[in-house]
Amino acid sequence: MRHAYRFGAYVVVAVLASAGVSGAAPQGAAPKTLAGGGAATVGCGALGSATVSYLTTNGSVTQVSMTGLPAGCNGAVVGLTLVNAVGASLGSGGPVVVSGGAATVRPLTANPAPASVTNVQLVAIGP
């Protein structure tokens, strides 16, 4: 996911530089055609309908499994963040590929106690 973000940032930087919109002096490039590739971004399905379950070890969450993911999300990569009541991250994991409507995320960046986790934020990219 972090890599995906970086990729997006690199695209932005490259485009700004080539278009000269960053305030730099024109580099003498001849105008060219822009072909917009902006396909509408629609979700792969209702991730909110997924069932989230834990594997705990010694009182801490060490693995998170998701089942009941929409069929349209098969082949997507999914990541998650465990958050507390004020939305602060307590640990995250992924990306992993969704297969058969399920995905299992392990390891996590941190292993919180289940009682401290209020919500699980899911992000799927693709398929």
Task: Name the site residues for other proteins (rule: CB under 8 A).
Answer: 1-2, 4-5, 8, 11-12, 15-16, 18-21, 29, 31-48, 50-59, 62, 65, 67, 73, 76, 79-82, 92, 114-115, 117-127
Residue 71 or 125: which CB sits closer to other proteins?
125
Rounded least distance, CB 60 to other proteins, Å: 9
Return d(Cα 126, Cα 96) in angstroms, integer.
12
Return the residue matching tokens 């990219």: 125
DSSP state of 114: G
Question: Minimum CB separation from other proteins for residue 40, in Å?
Answer: 8
Q: Given the complex with other proteins, which of 96 and 120 has the nearer CB atom? A: 120
Q: How far is the CB of 70 from other proteins (least distance, A)?
A: 9
CB atoms within 10 A of CB 38: 5
- Whole-number minimum distance, CB 82 to other proteins, in Å? 7
Q: Taking the CA of residue 11 as centre, how many other CA atoms within 13 Å lie in the half-sphere pointing to its CB?
A: 6
Are the CB atoms for 93 and 108 separated by under 8 Å? yes
